[in-house]
Amino acid sequence: MKTVIKVEGMTCHHCVNHVKAALLEIPQVVDVIVNLIEGKATIISNEKIAEKVFEKAISDAGYTFIGVE
């Protein structure tokens, strides 16, 4: 399953790596592609994941979760 989320607060490639690592901590997540310019993360998962799970992972990493596209 593919999900795209909007994330605010990323300013560099270290931020991209931090967001990717945070999302990969979610057990159902298989892969993550983060686009710094667009402020988006594309998540590949084994099953549907609740929006609040993404929100917690992003906020715990220090960024702002805007929502699922």
DSSP one-letter string for 3-68 = EEEEEE---SHHHHHHHHHHHHTSTTEEEEEEETTTTEEEEEESS---HHHHHHHHHHTT-EEEEE
For the chain, the domains span 2-45+63-68
User: Would you call 69 exposed, middle or buried from its count of C-beta atoms within 10 A (0-12, 13-18, 19+)?
Assistant: exposed
* Strand (E) or helix (H) holding 2: strand 2-8
Tokens of 21: 């690592």
Q: How confident is the model at residue 6 (pLDDT cuts 50, 70, 90)?
A: very high
pLDDT at 40: 98
pLDDT at 1: 96
Q: Which option is the CATH number for 2-45+63-68: 3.40.1670.10, 3.30.390.30, 1.10.3720.10, 3.30.70.100? A: 3.30.70.100
Its pTM stands at: 0.95
The mean per-residue pLDDT over the stretch 8-33 comes to 98
